[in-house]
Amino acid sequence: MKNYKQDTLCVQAGYSPKTGEARIPPISQSTTYVYEKTQDMADLFDLKSDGYFYTRLANPTVSAFEGKVSALEGGVCGIGCASGMSATALTVFTVAGAGDNILSSQAVYGGTYNLFSTTLPKLGIECRFFNPDDPAEEIEKLIDDKTRIIFTETVANPAIIVLDFDKISAIAQKYGVLFAVDNTLATPVLCRPKDFGANIIIHSSSKYLDGHAAALGGVIVDCGNFKFKGNERYSSFNTPDESYHGLVYADLPVAFGTKCRAQMMRDYGAIMSPQNAFLSYIGSDTLALRMERHSSNARAVAEYLNKHPKIDWVLHPSLKDNKYHKLAQKYMPDGQGGMMSFGIKGSVETCAKFMEALKLITQETHVADVRSCVLHPASTTHRQLSEEDLVKAGVPHNLIRLSVGIENPSDIIADLEQALEQI
Ligand code: PLP
């Protein structure tokens, strides 16, 4: 499948039925699998052969979706997780333990920020945040011999900051640190982080990959391009894992992916459900078409809002005056996705009035599915913050987050127009 284009992989990768088998991956709704020969099962436990023995570790429907996402990201292994959050957590746990630290962009999804700033420190893992716009010399200062990962998002949610891949991958390579990218909002259709030096890709497949707001899920992709062998930062990859028959992960062709599944998925059990894998597999068939439409719709909406007298500012990387326009042209030239934010001229009450006047576009905490939706963080997710703290968090009181769907663009714009007329 490796030589096919992304739109072909969306519909063909991950599952190839043999003669007489179902055309689409059946939902393997079973916890376990039967074997006649004891040795066959022993070989599975010893990782000497591929197959299934317990759904907490692997399941045929989940494999189909993992295979598709891995192919799209150019990886060597995909791991389906219960959610995007569990994908992020398992990625960190695969390389870091108490006493270690990780570096993360401060512009990451709020749930990821909480995990890194509050929960990981309780487990003895420190997170050192950096501003992704800072020069490399500043970011480098945070690295020491305990640093295990540099974590970023291709397009940050909700700040809509486009990552400077060349800058971060140069730092990661210089220090031999694993470079992980959450590619949820760009998707492998608009950007393939591996092409720009990333080693591990993370997805909340609950967003564009599923695309229909139907199935929670996450995927970790091992790009197979990081050398663990002999790298002193990663002693847990270079010494025998006593909990897995003395396996030395760095000796395997798929080091990170194997450790993540055999050790972390085994112990944390955050596997994707077969039902959600099925829905995500089917949903992602149309990913390439949808991302094209999300991107062109968002561009049209951004241009419309940018000229509107009641709008203060608009953030979407397709706009020429956007701070990240150049980076977006470099790393995601075919489209910049459907996520944007804008500021309404007026108070929190004006924003609420505008939101309530919308008819087609609904208010939701979700983003990145086929239907357009909005959120006013100052009166919902960030309502506990003071005016000053809102500004510090990059969420001014008048910020509206808009996830542009795939409806006809004129209907989306007409809905915004009639709501703006009412304020
Ligand atoms: N990463 C990004 C960029 C997200 O937007 C989200 C959720 O909104 C997550 C990770 C977490 O994913 P999930 O909600 O599937 O746990």
Q: 65-104 pLDDT, tens per residue? A: 999 999 999 999 999 999 999 999 999 999 999 999 999 9
Domain covering 6-283, topology: Aspartate Aminotransferase; domain 2 (3.40.640)
Residue type, 220: I
278 exposure class (CB count in 10 Å sphere: 0-12, 13-18, 19+): buried
pLDDT surpassing 80 at residue 381: no
Q: Atom 13, ligand 1: which residue's CA is nearest?
A: 84
Separation of 192 CA from ligand 1 center, angstroms? 18
Answer yes or no: is the C-beta of 80 below 6 A from any ligand 1 atom.
no
Phi, psi of 233 (to 5 degrees): -65, -25
Q: Which residue is listed with tokens 């599975």?
A: 44
CATH 3.40.640.10 intervals, the chain: 6-283
Q: Atom 14, ligand 1: which residue's CA is nearest?
A: 84
- Planar angle of CA 206, 207, 208, nearest 5 degrees: 130
Q: What is the DSSP string of 79-97?
A: EEESSHHHHHHHHHHHH--
Instruction: Provide the CA 404 distance to its chain's centre, in angstroms.
Output: 18
Return the structure tokens found at 252: 């395997």
> What are the pLDDT digits (tens) for 276-312?
999 999 999 999 999 999 999 999 999 999 999 999 9
**Residues in Cβ contact with 364 at an 8 Å cutoff, skipping those fewer than 6 apart:** 373, 374, 375
For 288-420, CATH gives: 3.90.1150.10
Separation of 282 CA from ligand 1 center, angstroms? 20
Cβ pair 364, 420 in contact under 8 A = no
DSSP label of 339: E
What band does 317 get if pLDDT is binned at 50, 70 and 90? Answer: very high
Separation of 301 CA from ligand 1 center, angstroms? 24
> What are the pLDDT digits (tens) for 235-245?
999 999 999 88
pTM listed for this prediction: 0.97
Q: What is the DSSP string of 113-142?
A: HHIIIIIHHHTT-EEEEE-TTS-HHHHHTT
CATH 3.90.1150.10 intervals, the chain: 288-420
Q: Atom 4, ligand 1: which residue's CA is nearest?
A: 109
pLDDT surpassing 90 at residue 3: no
Return the structure tokens found at 193: 């982080």
Separation of 217 CA from ligand 1 center, angstroms? 9
